């Protein structure tokens, strides 16, 4: 395979110029890519710094809110403990009243039972008195 001598002359004449032009274009393109890459990297770095500062501020805010919540939680806890103590005292005070009411209820039940027995005795006495009065009234009825 042989190369045409005119083609070889053309390559020898314009080859270095073509290679220089292509090299220059490639150099400009690679330079542009490098500049774009550096710009993107600087923007990314700036955004990361901004995000880091924002996260730091957020962490400070969360810590402040946590400290405030911890203080509030302590106050609420102490109030609840105070209310529990008051409830226990109130329960102790009502235990006496409850015992008294139960004792009074027992006494009322006892009096009710006693009263029922007395009513039963009065009913029996009434029937006995009826028999006595019939006996006493019998001579007068006989004469009627």
Examine the pLDDT at 18 and tell me if it is beyond 90: no
Q: What is the pLDDT of residues 49-102, one digit of tens each?
A: 999 999 999 999 999 988 888 888 888 889 999 999 998 888 887 888 788 888
Q: In Å, how far from its chain's centre is CA 28?
A: 63
Average pLDDT, the chain: 86
**Band (30; pLDDT cuts 50, 70, 90):** very high
Measured between alpha carbons, how far is 70 from 17 in angstroms, rounded to an integer?
Answer: 78
What is the residue-wise DSSP string for 69-138? Answer: HHHHHHHHHHHHHHHHHHHHHHHHHHHHHHHHHHHHHHHHHHHHHHHHHHHHHHHHHHHHHHHHHHHHHH
9: which 2 tokens? 């002359």
Q: What b-and-e string marks burial along 7-35, b requiring 16 or more CB atoms within 10 Å of the CB? A: eeeeeeeeeeeeeeeeeeeeeeeeeeeee
Q: What is the pLDDT of residue 33?
A: 92
Smallest CA-to-CA distance from 104 within 92, 115, 116, 112 is with 112
Instruction: Using the predicted structure, report yes or no on whether residue 138 has a pLDDT greater than 80.
Output: no
Domain ranges of the chain: 1-107
């Amino acid at each position: 395979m042989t190369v045409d001598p005119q083609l070889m002359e053309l390559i020898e004449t314009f080859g270095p110029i073509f290679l220089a032009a292509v090299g220059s274009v490639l150099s400009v393109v690679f330079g542009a890519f490098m500049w774009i890459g550096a710009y993107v990297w600087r923007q990314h770095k700036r955004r990361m710094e901004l995000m880091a500062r924002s996260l730091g501020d957020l962490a400070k805010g969360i810590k402040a809110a946590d400290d405030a919540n911890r203080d509030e939680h302590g106050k609420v806890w102490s109030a609840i403990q105070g209310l529990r103590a008051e409830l226990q005292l109130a329960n102790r005070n009502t235990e006496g009243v409850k015992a008294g009411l139960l004792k009074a209820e027992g006494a009322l039940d006892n009096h009710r039972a006693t009263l029922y027995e007395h009513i039963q005795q009065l009913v029996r006495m009434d029937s006995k008195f009826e028999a006595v009065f019939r006996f006493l009234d019998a001579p007068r009825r006989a004469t009627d």
